[in-house]
Structure 1
Amino acid sequence: MKIVLTIAGSDSSGGAGIQADLKTFEAFGVFGTSALTVLTAQNTTGVTDISPISAEFLKAQLDAVKDDFEISAIKIGMLFSNEIIDVVREFVQDLKIPIVFDPVFISKAGSKLLNDDAIENMKSILPYATVTTPNLFEAKEMFGYEVQKHEVLESKLDSPCPVVIKNNIVEMNDMKTSVDSLIVNKERYYFISPYEETDNTHGTGCSFSSAIAANLALGKSLKESVEISKKFIYKAIVNAPNIGHGKGPIAHKQGVESCH
Structure 2
Amino acid sequence: MKVVLTVAGSDSSGGAGIQADLKTFEAFDTFGCSALTVLTAQNTQGVTNIQEISPSFVQEQILRVLEDFEVNAIKIGMLFSNEIIDIVRETIKDLDIPIVFDPVFISKAGSKLLNDDAIENLKTLFPYVDIITPNLYEAKALFNYDVLNEKAIEEISKLPCKVVIKNDIVKKENEDFSMDTFFDNNDKKVYYTKLIETSNNHGTGCSFSSAIAANIALGKSLEEAIKISKEFIYQAILNAPNIGHGKGPISHKKGKECL
The answer to whether the superposition gives a TM-score over 0.5 is yes
TM bracket (short chain) = over 0.9
Find the residue that maps to 2:247 and give its secondary structure. Answer: coil
Distance, in Å, in 2 between the alignment partners of 1:29 and 1:179 is 27
Report what 1:257 is aligned to. 257
Distance, in Å, in 2 between the alignment partners of 1:64 and 1:97 is 16
Report what 1:120 is aligned to. 120
TM value normalised by structure 2: 0.95
Report what 2:36 is aligned to. 36
Please tell me whether residue 234 in structure 1 is matched to residue 234 in structure 2. yes
Shift of 1:49: 1.3
Distance, in Å, in 2 between the alignment partners of 1:69 and 1:143 is 35
Amino acid at match of 1:94: D
Report what 1:185 is aligned to. 185
Shift of 1:57: 1.0
Report what 1:166 is aligned to. 166
In 1, are the aligned partners of 2:10 and 2:17 still within 8 Å (CA)? yes
Report what 1:244 is aligned to. 244
TM value normalised by structure 1: 0.94
Distance, in Å, in 2 between the alignment partners of 1:108 and 1:35 is 22
Please tell me whether residue 13 in structure 1 is matched to residue 32 in structure 2. no
Please tell me whether residue 91 in structure 1 is matched to residue 91 in structure 2. yes
Shift of 1:108: 5.0
Distance, in Å, in 2 between the alignment partners of 1:48 and 1:22 is 23
Shift of 1:209: 0.2
Cα distance change on mapping 1:112 and 1:42 into 2, 3 Å: closer
Per-residue deviation, residues 111-146 of structure 1 (Å, max 9, x unmatched): 753334311111100111110000111111111344
Distance, in Å, in 2 between the alignment partners of 1:179 and 1:122 is 24
Report what 1:69 is aligned to. 69
Per-residue deviation, residues 180-219 of structure 1 (Å, max 9, x unmatched): 0000001000000000000100000000000000000001
In 1, are the aligned partners of 2:46 and 2:107 still within 8 Å (CA)? no
Distance, in Å, in 2 between the alignment partners of 1:201 and 1:117 is 27
Find the residue that maps to 2:258 and give its secondary structure. Answer: helix
List gaps (5 residues or longer) in structure 1: none
Find the residue that maps to 2:134 and give its secondary structure. Answer: coil
In 2, are the aligned partners of 1:106 and 1:137 still within 8 Å (CA)? no
In 1, are the aligned partners of 2:102 and 2:132 still within 8 Å (CA)? yes
Amino acid at match of 1:17: G
Shift of 1:110: 7.1
Distance, in Å, in 1 between the alignment partners of 2:48 and 2:230 is 30
Shift of 1:97: 1.3
In 2, are the aligned partners of 1:143 and 1:159 still within 8 Å (CA)? no
Distance, in Å, in 1 between the alignment partners of 2:13 and 2:113 is 19
Report what 1:103 is aligned to. 103
Find the residue that maps to 2:229 and give its secondary structure. Answer: helix
Distance, in Å, in 2 between the alignment partners of 1:250 and 1:8 is 19
Distance, in Å, in 2 between the alignment partners of 1:179 and 1:72 is 28
Cα distance change on mapping 1:203 and 1:109 into 2, 3 Å: closer
Distance, in Å, in 1 between the alignment partners of 2:35 and 2:135 is 23
Find the residue that maps to 1:71 and give its secondary structure. Answer: coil
Amino acid at match of 1:191: Y
In 1, are the aligned partners of 2:109 and 2:247 still within 8 Å (CA)? no
| CA RMSD, Structure 1 to Structure 2 (Å) | 1.5
Cα distance change on mapping 1:116 and 1:48 into 2, 3 Å: closer
Cα distance change on mapping 1:49 and 1:107 into 2, 3 Å: closer
4+ residue runs over 2 A deviation: 106-117, 144-148
The number of equivalent residue pairs is 255
List gaps (5 residues or longer) in structure 2: none
Residues 141-160 of structure 1 aligned to structure 2 (within 5 Å): 141-147=141-147, 155-156=152-153, 157=156, 158-160=158-160
In 2, are the aligned partners of 1:100 and 1:132 still within 8 Å (CA)? yes
Amino acid at match of 1:241: P
